[in-house]
Amino acid sequence: MKRYKFESALDVACGTGLHAIILSALGIRSVGSDISPDMLKHARHNAAQAGVKVKWVSASMQEVSQKVSQKLDAIFCLGNSLPHLLTVGDLHKTVQGLSNLLNDSGILVFQMLNYDQLLKSKKRIVGINREKNREFIRFYDFLENLIRFNMLTIDWKDNVPTPQLTSTLLHPYTKGELNTTLAHFGFTDIEYYGDLKFSEYRANGSPNLVLVARKNSKHDQR
């Protein structure tokens, strides 16, 4: 793995702010963005508890480049957030916007599930767990171009089940699709890893796909 040095960073779709807070604690000038006001509320609280300074921005992945004014050395999009962009058009808009936010030779890091493996195996049930009287079943529906992730929660009271189902649509971007998109918007030196410990990426074995790409300052995005 190559070593990268950076002094400023953006955590896109930051959720409760974990990674932005860690970056700030390491001395990095940090920005965290999320579309959810509730997540940002928790993020602000967590940053205050940690005693660190982070700039928080309310924005979707597609629009964040219009809400952040400063250029950055690094941008992170972690935690399988990218597949929430349900169309290739939204993916392109997001990647182009993030490229515009980066300094010359800045780096972009994506982390998501390994959809190459998931699409090949088409394994529907991915987890069954039980905590006391509550049972959790996680499973996928494979649609034409998307995947629906489902969480079925069953509360057992007096041996009577009360089910509740929540579902989320995801676009299962493959390594090839992401590589093509990143190259189109001027990213080079793309590296691939199987997790955030930077293990070797294996299409049929790695749980995650982590991409690290450098912006090509000479690329013309017109």
pLDDT at residue 3, as a whole number:
75
Please tell me whether the overall predicted TM-score, pTM, comes out greater than 0.85 for this model.
Answer: yes
Domain span at residue 185 reads: 8-114+172-215
- Are 19 and 100 in a shared domain? yes
pLDDT at residue 1, as a whole number:
59
- Are 82 and 125 in a shared domain? no
SS3 111: strand
In sequence order, the 6+-apart residues with CB closer than 8 A to the CB of 164 are 152, 153, 154, 155
222 in a domain, yes or no? no
CA-to-CA dists, residue 143 to 112, 115, 147, angstroms: 19, 14, 6
- Residue 138 sits at the vertex; the CA angle it makes with 113 and 38, to the nearest 5 degrees, is 75
Q: Is the pLDDT of residue 222 over 70?
A: no
With a pLDDT cut of 70, the percent of the chain lying above it is 96
Structure confidence at residue 159 as a pLDDT band (50, 70, 90)? confident
Q: Is the pLDDT of residue 217 over 80?
A: no
- Are 101 and 132 in a shared domain? no
For residue 18, count other CB atoms closer than 10 A to its CB: 16
- Are 49 and 136 in a shared domain? no
- Are 148 and 55 in a shared domain? no
Average pLDDT over residues 60-73: 95
**Per-residue pLDDT tens for 15-40?**
999 999 999 999 999 999 999 999 99
- Are 166 and 176 in a shared domain? no
- Are 21 and 109 in a shared domain? yes
- Per the listing, tokens 């400063």 go with 70
**Per-residue pLDDT tens for 92-143?**
999 999 999 999 999 999 999 999 999 999 999 999 999 989 999 999 999 9
Q: Is the pLDDT of residue 2 over 80?
A: no
Tell me how many domains the chain contains. Answer: 2
